[in-house]
A = this chain, B = another copy of it.
């Protein structure tokens, strides 16, 4: 994580941080509105976590890495929570097995809300009163905690979607949803010359450690699609026996298709699609989502194209403003490109790239438990770029590297095409 000093006075920096802290912490709890206590307990698969676990884990992060580490005299809210709500930090100690988070009825949501209040108050007080030295030492981790919390906001949304979709009645999560409709803009391409390019984060402003260092990469000439692949286009792939023709698939992807009986993206049901606002007819113009990397790759091969590398994606994103159908837009689902100009770079769906998730040249993990944040996952996963309709505003950047296993489908993951020039 490279964080440059922000251009403010120390006091303003603290106030600014306190404001963001309150905003982000409140936004997390707001995601539980309309849900029942029972909804917050269940874990629908090992990859997903109960909502109340997310509520507690993000709180544990601030308690552990700020308050316990940097706030002398802070009283831990409940000493058993360290074991329960550590996600994967081996350096911090033993932890509850991930696949068994759904077996934890206690602490209840009510008690976790108390936990949040306790930590919020202490963290806010710390922001006010910490010595300059303490503040300077912990500020980057505090900011990291905010971005960490936003990551979990997205997971709350996708994990809830998965859990509710396992229920035979598919309960509705959000009813207050605006749903723009439009025809799909025609698919056009941007061409890019080859050459040595610089990619990765340059250290100005927050970024996760895995986004840097900024470095040179040789990028061969390529072209890239100006919008996302739509459900209509993906349906044509299916209609052309896409899931029955091994020639489009990686061997491993083909094995997944056979073993799991995939015949369409996750959440497709006949002509319908399950959304966070319930099942409804699929719109041919809306971006396809909830596909695995295997499916994205097979579709691209069928379309006589390929997925972009992450360097290509970042070059193509260039200085497009960071805006789009993000969580705050309130659509809770990808929406059709309003016009040919709307390139859908940010928001709507995470875009699978052709790039495995590996360290950039010169990458070094930060010391201590925080060093476990990203580096240890750099094996067997693929990079996704651009954020989705479940990504909170302020949480996405041109250099942001998301990563999931190639068989993952429960994120809002979709497809942008590219090809050699």
Interface residues of A (CB under 8 A from B): 36-42, 44, 52, 80, 83-84, 88, 90-91, 96, 100, 102-106, 108-110, 163-164, 166-169, 171, 194, 196, 215-218, 220, 246-247, 249-254, 293-294, 297, 354-356, 358-359, 361-362, 376-380, 406, 420
Contact = CB atoms under 8 A, between A and B. Distances in A.
A361 B377 CA distance: 25
B420 A362 contact: yes
B420 A105 contact: no
Q: Give how many copies assemble into the complex.
A: 4
Given A80-B168, A105-B167, A109-B38, A218 B196 contact: yes
**Interface SS of chain A:** mixed
Contacts of A100: 166
B168 A362 contact: no
Contact of A218 (B52, B166, B217): B217
Contact of A37 (B38, B102, B217, B297): B38
A381 to B, nearest CB: 9
A274 B376 CA distance: 32
Contacts of A359: 354
A84 B254 CA distance: 20
Contact of A41 (B96, B105, B293, B354): B105
Contacts of A164: 105
A367 B252 CA distance: 20
B294 A379 contact: yes
A36 B37 CA distance: 10
B105 A39 contact: yes
B377 A250 contact: yes
